[in-house]
Amino acid sequence: MNDRVKEALFRQVGREPFAEKFGLKLVDLEEGYSKVTMTFTPDMENLFGMAHGGAVFALMDEAFQTACNAYGTVALALNVNITFIASPAPGNQLTAVAKEYSRTSKTANYDIKVKDEKGNLIASGQALAYRKGNPLPFLEP
């Protein structure tokens, strides 16, 4: 992977307001692959005291976003499907891993899994990205 792209994506996630709000941390990145973590905190609970689906989606989407943009060109979500398997225990660190399984000049498909710190599957999803081909606007010369 291009080091300039990798550094730029780590930098952008580090200063992204949404990532900061949810405590999303990019921990590993390669072309078509990303690993992002988040701790499930009480402010992420739904009406039933379980992890809100939106919080789990936020983690999955960050992994997807960074994996599909790791080529150094803009890629945007066209579709994301999620299956919620289980709710994590409060305070658990969750990890989302997005892996590319097919790519053309215009689209790319990803498998995304979220697991808790014990390795239990929390959610699974598939995502489709549209690859615009434009360089990432935040790449510094």
- Confirm if 121 and 60 have CB atoms less than 8 A apart: no
Q: What is the pLDDT of residue 118?
A: 96
57 located within any domain: yes
* CATH number of the domain encompassing residue 19: 3.10.129.10
54 located within any domain: yes
38 located within any domain: yes
pLDDT (tens digit per residue) in 31-79: 999 999 999 999 999 999 999 999 999 999 999 999 999 999 999 999 9
Q: Which domain holds residue 59?
A: 3-133
Q: How many domains does the chain have?
A: 1
CA distance 99 to 109: 8
pLDDT (tens digit per residue) in 94-114: 999 999 999 999 999 999 999
Q: Which of 84, 79, 15 is nearest to 54 (CA)?
A: 84
109 located within any domain: yes
11 located within any domain: yes
Where residue 140 falls among pLDDT bands split at 50, 70, 90? confident
* Mean pLDDT, all residues of the chain: 97
